[in-house]
Amino acid sequence: MDTAALIRAYYAAFNRADFEGMIALLGDDIVHDANQGSRHAGKDWFRSFLAHMDRCYREQVVDLVVLTESSGTRAAAEFVIEGEYKVTDEGLPPARGQRYRLPVGAFFDVRDGLIRRVTNYYNLQNWIAQVSA
């Protein structure tokens, strides 16, 4: 599978809430840089992160655009997250089923046909304003 197809498969699994399908596309040495957060590594951590996100949020990726460089080792994705805030996440405003729509950028390192790094960026203040309205 080429890099662009790999990234599309990753987000397709996300949209199906197929978290084990997402994990299968990651290398054992996966590194995740969360938006305005810490760097974490490993599939076990990533699995627990996905479970936490699924508990607090219901989200879908729409308007996905994937860009790759010529060697296929780096990729970027731009998309919109359409979501519902289900359960209050620690340190964030109270959840009341608020809906939101948020532009996101993501960057990937790919090696041997697997994703080795995912870095996500979005405007947290925009999200907070949407769910606080």
pLDDT tier, 39 (very low <50, low <70, confident <90, very high otherwise): confident
Domain spans in the chain, listed from the N-terminal domain onward? 3-132
Question: 57-87, pLDDT tens digit by residue?
Answer: 999 999 999 999 999 999 999 999 999 999 9
Contact between residue 34 and residue 107 where contact means Cβ atoms under 8 Å apart: no
Q: What is the pTM of this model?
A: 0.94
Place of tokens 């399908």: 21
Give the CA count within 13 Å in the CB-facing half-sphere of 9: 16
Q: How many helices (H) and strands (E) does the chain have?
A: 4, 6
Indicate the CATH number for domain 3-132.
Answer: 3.10.450.50
Contact between residue 85 and residue 59 where contact means Cβ atoms under 8 Å apart: no
